[in-house]
Amino acid sequence: MLMQVLIKDKISKRFAVSTEDGDKIYHIIIGNFLKKEKVTLDFEGITLMTTAFLNAAIGQLYSNNQYSSEFLNNYLSLINVEEQDAHLFRLVVKRAKEYFANKDGFEKNSNDSIYGDD
């Protein structure tokens, strides 16, 4: 089964900017994954997007090692993304992988960079 999710309908707006709206999409995605359904996120009509929205909608998928990259590449696809927004997906995915790979490591590195230990 393939579920096509028209973002602008699910969040009732053309600006995909808030964390809360990102959360809505995240829950739709995992709801379908639980049913072993593939999901296509359709960004048709979305005129503005932020990393705050994408962190919630997509970044969260990497939490607690819920889903592997292989699984996500197989079960989640993106269509009708504006060219100007495409780079945000790569940033968010890269950031989420690093963030969840080692939360503690991030905090240590942050401290070290301030105090000049690295």
Partner 1 sequence: MRKIYIPSKITSAIDGYELLLRLHSEFEKTNNEEIHFSFLNVVWFEANLAAVLGAIIEELEWRGNTVKIVETDNYSRINNVFFRNGFFPHHGIYIDVISGGNTQISYKMFLESEDQLYNNYIQSELLNNSGFPKHSPRLGAEIKRNIFELFENARTHGKCSHIHTCGQFYPHYRKLNITIVDTGKTIVSNVREHLNNNLGSCECIDWAMKMNNTTKAGNTPGGLGLGLIFDFINLNKGKIQIVSSNGFWELKEGRVRKLDLNFSFSGTIANLEFNLDEHLLYHFADEVKDLNNIF
Site for partner 1 in 15-74 (CB under 8 A): 15, 17-20, 22-23, 47-52, 55-56, 59-64, 69, 72-73
Among 83, 105, 116, 117, binds partner 1 (CB under 8 A): 83
Distances (CA, A) of 50 to 43, 72, 74: 13, 21, 25
Measured in whole angstroms, the distance separating CA 41 from the mean position of its chain's CA atoms is 11
Residue pair 48/16 in contact by the 8 Å Cβ criterion: yes
Subset of residues 89 to 108 that bind partner 1, contact rule: CB under 8 A: 89-93, 95-96, 98-100, 106-107
What's phi and psi for 62, nearest 5 deg? -90, -5
For 72, residues 6+ apart whose C-beta sits below 8 A from its C-beta are: 61
How many chain residues bind partner 1 (CB under 8 A)?
50
What residues make contact with partner 1 under the rule CB under 8 A?
13, 15, 17-20, 22-23, 47-52, 55-56, 59-64, 69, 72-73, 76-78, 81-84, 86-87, 89-93, 95-96, 98-100, 106-107, 110-111, 113-114
